[in-house]
Structure 1
Amino acid sequence: MPAKPPLRVGLIGTGFMGKTHTFGFATAPRVFDLPFDLVLDTVADRTDMLAANAAATLGFAKGTGDWRTIVADPAIDLVDITAPNALHKEMALAAIAAGKHVYCEKPLAPLAADAREMADAAEAAGVKTQVGFNYLCNPMIGLAREMIAAGELGEIRSYRGVHAEDYMADATAPFSFRNDPVGGGALADIGSHALATAEHLLGPIAEVLGDCATVIRERPDGKGGARAVVTDDVGRAFLRFANGASGSVEANWIAMGRKMQHDFEVYGSKGALVFSQERFNELRFHSAGDAAGRRGFRRIEAGPDHPPYGLFCVAPGHQLGFNDLKAIEIARYMDAIAGKAEEPFGFRKGLRIQSLVEAIHDSSRAVAWTHVS
């Protein structure tokens, strides 16, 4: 069997998502027939020592305290950005200018104008991009999309989506990059997932009516004082889809007790679907065509009949995990870099999500329906 060409990866950031990306890079070649031999080359962190420790732990050949070292290295083919949101633009544009492919965690950038600049630059340079929306790689969400497209639910009438967690619920937690206006807020940070899922399933959102609230109005500044917070803790929006359906989404990072609620409900004229990330190997389906006395939501359990589940496990009900979704995302992205497929969720789609976020913020301020261009 001929050797595959190497694709050398440089990772910027070693926090939660940096580790998740690394697990994805380690798993993908062992599950999928990738077009490349993935090489974990260099990892960047805040200092050389932190980077060296991360390289040893995560399996990279070397580490650096300066992310620019990765961008400047001619051996690096792919720059993977998992740094704080406000840093994405500078890092991505530098990597694109150096001719690198760029994989960036969501949100792509704090402002739609920045995301547009990044998308335009990538397309002009001819590099392949990916934004980290790995929840969309779940076989159960893929099944839901197929069922909706095939008309199994009939005419789609309404949609409800929510992404709620409690990692910002503690009012005594210090001000962080998440609270900085250039970092986003709940709607950009986790509402982006709810919006991406809504459009993935039902198509374009045409209009929004937003309501964004800052609940914890100040946080400790780490210096004995307090710092005002202006970013949203909860972001909600009513939606009007281009296909005529209506719906809503909510982003809430102060939802006490919720660790990973990424849920949706889709209601049609012939049936309905219900999904919860807290049980993300299941999809619940109700059919109005069932006989009277036999109607109700039935559970569809993930298994080898729902690709690519079978590549991970031959037995149904044994379940995929969060990091497996990242491996699926990476495998699809590798096919795009090799020219075998379109970008699964490139920078242009990342721009679309940020445009929706900004439209909801604009609508909330204006207290009026806002058209999404």
Structure 2
Amino acid sequence: MTKPRLRIGLIGTGFMGKAHVFGFTSAPRVFELAYDLDLHTVADITPEAAERARITLGFAKGTARWQDIIENPEIDLVSITAPNALHKEMSLAAIAAGKHVYCEKPLAPLASDALEMTLAAEAKGVQTQVGFNYLCNPMLQTAREMIRAGELGEIRGYRGIHCEDYMADANGSFTFRHDPAGGGALADIGSHALATAEFLCGPVTKVMGDCVTMIGERPDGRGGRKTVTVDDVGRAFLRFENGASGSIEGNWIATGRKMQHDFEVYGTKGALAFSQEHFNVLHYFDTSDRKGRQGFRRIEASPDHAPYGLFCVAAGHQIGFNDLKAIEVAGYINAIAGKSDEPFNFRAGLRIQTLVETIQSSSREQRWLDVK
């Protein structure tokens, strides 16, 4: 039976633009989707770049004007992987045109912008998605199931961290991420740590933040230097609604770290430990194990941890980063088809930006703040 077609326009072809394309092309081959997905038009900064992207990524058309994607009535879904400061303008234009919007995180530089985008999408009735694909890992799903089932008992403590080193070189150029509109390390990668904390342990109610700029200026690309005001490291102590306490860190100058998205959860009956650097493994400690036999055991990703089995029939062979994007895309397409709720919509993205801003305010004021 012929399926309806969902025609996609992509804005931006960097790392995350390619990841979105991998998701769009892999998801229909792994999952039974309600739509066939068409790569309709890709937009990049110049006509030459757009044409290269069209050929390389497999789109039917290319353009140097992102507005062409918005204005084209044939396009149903707009995928936005442009710099953070452009997310609001592009998303609002797509929403006004009645298109579904898949936007990379952070949703917007300011919570007030994210709120405007959220309300516009909800009023228009379009389906939205913010790119937090680490949450799609079957091991994180398993961890949440174990916590909710009470296997860890009462949750007492949480530690989360997202560290990389892509800004560790002090002679690295000033980028859009260093602009205040880009957000800094807490917004850029600490947002993942916050999303994971609430995914596993529920709402955060109070924060105490510490945001630090370690590299105060960078080359501007024109022979001069430019002042940096955003944080290189953002940390926060957390209090959860369930009574647990914890901490998170977002750090983009962590020398040697490439993808340390880790967490530890401590309960009265057990504990969990996880590292994105080995993200097909979850470590579990059970207090009921007899003395002399206690220790963290490895839970290997396998077909028993859906949807791992759709990618690989053998345990321990592992799935990868782009597979998580395919899982994210599949969940979003199901929401567009009305088969499920949006996995991580603009309102969820607004929540994360609210947490980020509350931590930033707490750091400036040097006191605990309630999350509103």
TM-score range, shorter chain: over 0.9
Task: Give the Å deviation of 1:221.
Answer: 1.0
Q: Which residue of 2 aligns with 1:288?
A: 287
Residue of structure 2 in register with 1:218 after alignment: 217
Show the counterpart of 1:317: 316
Residue number in structure 1 paired with 2:246: 247
Q: Which runs of 4 or more aligned residues in structure 1 lie more than 4 Å from their structure 2 counterparts after TM superposition?
A: none
Root-mean-square deviation (CA, aligned residues, Å) is 0.4
1:46 alignment partner in structure 2: 45
TM-superposed deviation, 1:49: 1.1
**Whole-angstrom distance in 2 between the partners of 1:139 and 1:221:** 41
- CA drift of 1:71 comes to 0.3
Structure 2 distance, partners of 1:147, 1:186, is: 30
**Aligned position for 1:370:** 369
2:94 is aligned with 1:101: no
**Deviation at residue 223 of structure 1 after TM alignment:** 1.5
State whether structure 2 residue 41 is matched by structure 1 residue 56.
no
SS of residue paired to 2:62: strand
User: What is the identity, as a one-letter code, of the residue corresponding to 2:365?
Assistant: A
- Deviations, residues 171-196 of structure 1 (Å, cap 9, x unaligned): 10111100000111000000000000
- The reply on whether 1:234 has 2:260 as its aligned counterpart is no
**Mapped partners of 1:261, 1:3: distance in 2:** 43
- TM-score, reference length from structure 1: 0.99
Structure 1 counterpart of 2:126, one-letter code = V
TM-aligned CA deviation for residue 224 of structure 1: 1.3
Per-residue CA distance 1:153-181 (angstroms, 9 max, x = gap): 00000000000000000110111100000
Alpha-carbon displacement from aligned partner over 1:271-313 (angstroms, at most 9, x marks no partner): 0000000000000000000011110000000000000000011
Give the drift of 1:322. Answer: 0.1
Q: How does 1:168-183 map to 2 (within 5 A)?
A: 168-183=167-182
Offset from partner CA, 1:82-137 (integer Å, 9 cap, x none): 00000000000000000000000000000000000000000000000000000000
Query: For residue 202 of structure 1, what is the aligned residue in structure 2?
Result: 201
- Aligned partner letter, 1:176: T
Which residue number corresponds to residue 330 of structure 2? 331
Which whole-Å CA distance do the structure 1 matches of 2:269 and 2:168 have between them?
39
- The residue aligned with 1:126 is 125
Amino acid at match of 1:242: E
AA of the residue aligned to 1:195: L
Aligned residues: 372
| Structure 2: runs of 5+ lacking an equivalent | none
C-alpha distance in structure 2 between counterparts of 1:81 and 1:326, whole Å: 14
| TM-score with structure 2 setting the length | 1.00
- The letter for the 2-side match of 1:214 is T
Query: 1-side partners of 2:163 and 2:92: how far apart?
Result: 31
Aligned to 2:13: 14
1:181-234: CA deviation from partner (whole Å, max 9, x where unpaired):
011100000000000000000000000000000000000111211110000000
What code does the residue aligned with 2:305 have? H
Counterpart amino acid of residue 124 in structure 1: A
Aligned to 1:144: 143
Q: SS of the counterpart of 1:307?
A: coil
Q: Which runs of 5+ in 1 are unaligned?
A: none
Q: Distance in 2 between matches of 1:24 and 1:183?
A: 25
SS at match of 1:79: strand
* Counterpart in the other structure of 2:74: 75
Q: Provide the C-alpha distance between the structure 1 equivalents of 2:122 and 2:88, rounded to a whole number of angstroms.
A: 15
**Partners in 1 of 2:56 and 2:215 — Cα distance?**
36
**Residue of structure 2 equivalent to 1:299:** 298
Residue 191 of structure 1: aligned partner: 190
Partners of 2:79 and 2:68 in 1: CA distance: 13
Identity of aligned residues (%): 72
Secondary structure of the corresponding residue to residue 172 of structure 2: coil
Q: CA deviation at 1:48?
A: 1.1
The whole-number CA distance in structure 2 between the counterparts of 1:87 and 1:167 is 22
CA distance in 1, matches of 2:184, 2:105: 13
State how far apart, in whole Å, the 2-side matches of 1:221 and 1:138 are.
Answer: 38
Please name the residue that 2:88 is paired with: 89
The answer as to 2:344 corresponding to 1:345 is: yes
> Cα deviation per residue 1:54-85 (whole Å; 9 max; x = unaligned)?
01000101100000000000000000000000
Cα deviation, residue 265, structure 1: 0.1
Instruction: Please give the alpha-carbon distance, in whole angstroms, between the structure 1 residues aligned to 2:153 and 2:227.
Output: 48
By how many angstroms is 1:334 displaced? 0.4
The residue matched to 2:165 in structure 1 has which SS?
A: coil
- Report the equivalent of 1:279: 278
**1:30 is aligned with what amino acid?**
R
Distance 1:198 1:80 in 2: 26
